[in-house]
Amino acid sequence: MEDEIIDQNNDLENNKIPSNLEASDINKNKTIANKNTIEEVTKKRIDADLLPKKAKANIFEKYINDTGIASAFELIFSEIIYKKIAVEDHYTYAAGRLRQIGREIELIKQVKNK
């Protein structure tokens, strides 16, 4: 037993792996370290990816509000409910109303520019 401990110490001094047990411990520690590093890198990438997505979402939301699309959809949905339009006709009605509202907005812009 003492001879084994002395051999392990000599192996450590000579930069040799002392035994299979310690080698597996070293591999486990490396695996844990690699796993932690991978998790950290992944988290940083996810955080970095989310920032542009959040910025894009904010820009899109501002666009929706500035163009009046949100208000147009609210109006169209209330018309669908008020007029009791059949479910199978919702898309057709909404598409037609959006086109009509778009033309009306263009006319208003033209009048303002004159």
Q: How is 29-59 classified by DSSP, letter by letter?
A: HHHHHHHHHHHHHHHHHHHHHHHHHHHHHHH
Q: How much is the pLDDT for 36?
A: 63
pLDDT of residue 65: 84
Distances (CA, A) of 49 to 28, 54, 79, 102, 110: 31, 9, 39, 34, 41
CA distance 15 to 11: 6
Asked whether residue 92 falls in the same domain as residue 49, the answer is no
Q: Does residue 62 share a domain with residue 15?
A: yes
pLDDT at residue 58, as a whole number: 85
Q: What's the total number of domains in the chain? A: 2
Model-level pTM greater than 0.85?
A: no
Each of the 114 residues of the chain gets a pLDDT tens digit; together they read 444 444 445 544 555 554 555 555 555 555 555 566 777 766 666 666 666 778 878 888 888 888 888 888 999 999 999 999 999 999 999 999 999 998 988 898 888 887
Domain that holds residue 88: 68-114
Q: How many residues does the chain have?
A: 114
